[in-house]
Amino acid sequence: MLQKFAAENVRPGARFTSDRSVFPGLSALGAWVTFALLPVPLLPASPADAPAAQVGDHTLARPEELLDSIARLLKPDWASQFRQLPASAPESRAQIAFAIGSILAEGHLAVHAEDSQHSRNIGKDLLLLAKPVGAHAEMLEHTRSLSDYAEKRNWELLGQELELVAADLGKVLSKNGDSQLACLIHLGKWVRILEIASIILHTNYSESAARIMQQPTWPLGFSAAHLNAAATIEQDPAISPAQARLHHIQNLLQEQSTSAPTDLQIHALSETAHGVLLDILSKRK
């Protein structure tokens, strides 16, 4: 399943620092690149079709809705954003939970790309990583469903199944006293989808497309996910280095302005999100 990650598969503007892999047997996220953090704020505002953000007892936006918003406006090369996970599972369960979230994001990317093989690989990766967090049995049936929907190219049901996977994993982990791991799954999905979205917007930059990022929807959703996982991140040395960049993502998303984000500002978000993925998924004890 694992393919050698070639230089031509790296996202535009990325620069290799290493070709080593850190997750053998997994197929979905992570090119090894350098990144520069650009402290330029992103600006929130308002296309009408974006989902409404709500707080309190109401449901916040799901990160995959950001990809849906992009799909309504653009026809990007979704498959160019596929990433392999680094290759052997890390020892930290917190890292594994974050990796599961990033794979779920990769699954939603595969749905938009309408790629059956990548979708099947996602199911296998999720099954492999569910075991160390105590959710292997629950993932078995989901893996079969994901494979079946991918084979039949039923992308709507495949997307719904990915949402069910996230919900069921959260329930199982909470029942087992691991609710913080469930929070990290959700955060991992947010970070990877923010990376995907910002790379696409940077690659296909226009002011009208950039306004997708001017929604209060996204900073509210990300902020809730980050807040719920913050205590675990601070306490776990395997993932705590990511905290500064996670705060930076929040600042980038929350900055207010009357104009659309510039290409440089969109690029800053992609680089920061990518840095978080490296911080968490490449760290070893």
- The model's pTM: 0.81
- pLDDT tens-place string over residues 77-91: 999 999 877 666 677
- pLDDT tens-place string over residues 264-279: 999 999 999 999 999 9
**Is residue 34's pLDDT more than 90?**
no
DSSP 69-113: HHHHH----GGGG--PPPSS--S-HHHHHHHHHHHHHHHHHHHHH
Which residue from 260, 247, 188, 184 is spatially nearest to 219, judged by alpha carbons?
247
In a domain, 31, yes or no: yes
In a domain, 221, yes or no: yes
63-70 average pLDDT score:
96
Range of the domain at 277: 7-281
In a domain, 99, yes or no: yes
- pLDDT tens-place string over residues 119-166: 999 999 999 999 999 999 889 999 999 999 999 999 999 999 999 999
In a domain, 1, yes or no: no
Q: Can you give the pLDDT at residue 59?
A: 66
Distance CA 201, CA 62 (A): 19
- pLDDT tens-place string over residues 207-256: 999 999 988 889 999 999 999 999 999 999 989 999 999 999 999 998 84
The kind and range of the H/E element at 15 are strand 15-16
Distance CA 63, CA 195 (A): 11
Q: Can you give the pLDDT at residue 185?
A: 96
In a domain, 68, yes or no: yes
Which residue from 140, 91, 148, 156 is spatially nearest to 120, judged by alpha carbons?
148
The domain total for the chain is: 1
In a domain, 201, yes or no: yes
Distance CA 162, CA 59 (A): 18
In a domain, 23, yes or no: yes
182-209 average pLDDT score:
96
In a domain, 2, yes or no: no
